[in-house]
Amino acid sequence: MKISVVIPTYRRPQLLVRCLEALVRQNFDKNEYEVIVVSDGPDQETSEAMKFWIDTVIPKIRYISTPGKKGPAASRNAGWMNATGHLIAFTDDDCLPSPNWLQAAWKAYKGEQLVVFTGKVIVPIPRYPTDYERNISKLETAEFITANCICTRQALKCVGGFDERFGMAWREDSDLHFNFISNEIPIHPIQAVVTHPIREAPWGISIKEQKKGLYNALLYKKYPALYRQRIKPHPSWNYYAMLLLFSGAVVFFAAGHPFKGLISLLGWLTLLIAFIEKRLTDTSRCRKHVVEMIATSVVIPFASIFWQLYGSAKFRVWFFQITVFINVAFNY
């Protein structure tokens, strides 16, 4: 095989089928690429959906499952380790590779042992998107994401593949990216396009998304300099200010100092309003979305700090946010 395509998935058979339909329509010799679908743990619904695709279509499509749910990093490792292609192409089950996706990758490949290619991700959004849609659209400007990257097998072996400690779809692609950089493996952008449609998100999704922040600590622990340069030079200090002001208001009111409590509460409300306005700028102003932005903006700073500190404890990177600030302040 020239190319093996690896797709991690879990309980999203309808999305997966659309992705497979795009892959079988590739303008590439159907006998020279394969598709490996990897379920993140046992998944009966996806297993049933895959019966049609296995051994009945060309290119060859295989389906494997990891023993338990460990996240997309582990699924991708299982996929590329079972692949037979010279190149390993990664995309996601909610993505639609363009017809020339594989052709563009193979055309760019000159037989190098250690090389990585990244393509463009298109995220269609309405003129006035929701806050969630706008956040997802940032994938279009991401430097490196596994929704559209192609690596040689040797490059993956050199860096040991994905770090399976990243148990969610968050920062595992940045970790692989930084690993390639640290090992001086060249990364080239190519004209290979993948479309990432945005699905309708449940109300309040932004609060649930904060849990992913726990993996920021692990990425920072492994690559502190690259984290500061390419992810975030300093913490979200407005979150910490909001937490301190709100906590101060509670303490002052409880201690019988209403004036100090009122000042702290007004400070918190000022930062909260600024946060809400920022999230609503150039986004949808429908009533449901506005109400969601107000409600979730109250909770997000607290949830974000909780998960960041949880990650710091889990991965033993104590006060990594403050370390970032100190390093920046002193021009580390």
Residue 51 CA to residue 151 CA, distance in Å, equals 28
Q: What are the E-state strand segments in the chain?
A: 3-9, 33-39, 60-65, 87-90, 96-97, 116-122, 149-152, 187-195
Mean pLDDT of all residues belonging to the chain: 94
Residue 309 CB neighbours (<10 A): 17
Task: Evaluate if pTM is beyond 0.85.
Answer: yes
pLDDT at residue 324 in the model:
46
Residue 235 CA to residue 325 CA, distance in Å, equals 7
Quickly list H helices, 183-257.
Answer: 205-209, 214-222, 224-230, 237-254
Q: How sure is the predictor about 232, in pLDDT bands with cuts at 50, 70 and 90?
A: confident
User: What percent of the chain stands above pLDDT 90?
Assistant: 92
Q: Are 66 and 39 in contact (CB under 8 A)?
A: yes
Q: Which residue has the tokens 């920021």?
A: 216
Average pLDDT of span 244-262:
97
Residue 173 has pLDDT above 60, yes or no: yes
pLDDT tens for residues 42-61?
Answer: 999 999 999 999 877 889 99
Q: How sure is the predictor about 327, in pLDDT bands with cuts at 50, 70 and 90?
A: very low
- In angstroms, the Cα distances linking 211 to 30, 216, 305, 317 are 41, 10, 10, 17
Average pLDDT of span 57-83:
95
Residue 329 has pLDDT above 90, yes or no: no
Q: How sure is the predictor about 320, in pLDDT bands with cuts at 50, 70 and 90?
A: low
pLDDT at residue 319 in the model:
54
pLDDT at residue 328 in the model:
41
Q: How sure is the predictor about 90, in pLDDT bands with cuts at 50, 70 and 90?
A: very high
pLDDT tens for residues 292-314?
Answer: 999 999 999 999 999 999 999 99
